Structure formats: structure tokens, C-alpha cells
Amino acid sequence: QVQLQESGPGLVKPSETLSLTCTVSGGSISSDSSYWSWIRQPAGKGLEWIGRIYTSGGTFYKTSLKSRLTMSIDTSKNQLSLKLSSVIAADTAVYYCARGMVHAIDAFDVWGRGSLVTVSS
């Protein structure tokens, strides 16, 4: 059974770059789905889709974050990565990686437990 685990620093200073890794276990990142997404959730608030990356390496980002966002995939390590530059307090959230469901459009059937990132000096 595929499992996802996010990891990275829990505290990032304003204007710096937030970096997270999502490790896929129990399956292959390149064959268990055609795309993977990052989704975040500020404390007490709703979910916000950030972007998706295809196993081919192609990406599609949320328009408002596009200029600050970089997603990548490392099939040899079975990992995804997320980098968000020039962070501000509003980027404080729990960040989830999620698998795009096979044979379905835009549905996320496996989620990581989430990684809390706080932006503060």
C-alpha cells in the first residue's frame, strides 16, 4: 500500500525558501500514478491546491504562486520536492503531498500526514 511522508524544516524565516520533500513508500512514484500534487492548509482554514507534477516532470502551478514555486520529482529516490521562495507569514500552513488517483481526473486518493511549516523570524 502506497504511503507518503512529508519532511522538511518546521520553521522558515520570512523572505527565505521553504523546502519540503515527500517520500513515497510501498510503491513506485513513476508507475503508481501519473501525477502528484501539493496541497496546503493554514491552521483552522480550508485546503488550498498549490500545484501538480507529472511523472514526466511536467508541472502545473497555482497561478498566484507560480512565480515563487518549484516542484520536482526524483524517480531514483521515489521522492517529490517542493520549493517556495520569498515566503511570508501567510505561507504558514500544513503542507500535504497527495497522489493523483489512477484512472481518475483530479482526485487525490493517498495523502501524506502533512508537514507543518511556520514562517517566522
Per CB under 8 A, residues contacting other proteins are: 37, 39, 46-49, 51-52, 60-63, 96, 101, 104-109, 111-114
Which residue lies nearer to other proteins by CB, 65 or 83?
65
A 10 A CB-CB count for 108 gives 20
Which residue lies nearer to other proteins by CB, 6 or 73?
6
Smallest gap from Cβ 26 to other proteins, in A, equals 16
Which residue lies nearer to other proteins by CB, 13 or 113?
113
25: left (phi over 0), alpha (psi -120 to 50) or beta: beta
Smallest gap from Cβ 36 to other proteins, in A, equals 12
A 10 A CB-CB count for 44 gives 5
Cell of 65: 504562486
A 10 A CB-CB count for 98 gives 22
Smallest gap from Cβ 113 to other proteins, in A, equals 6
Sequence letter at residue 8: G
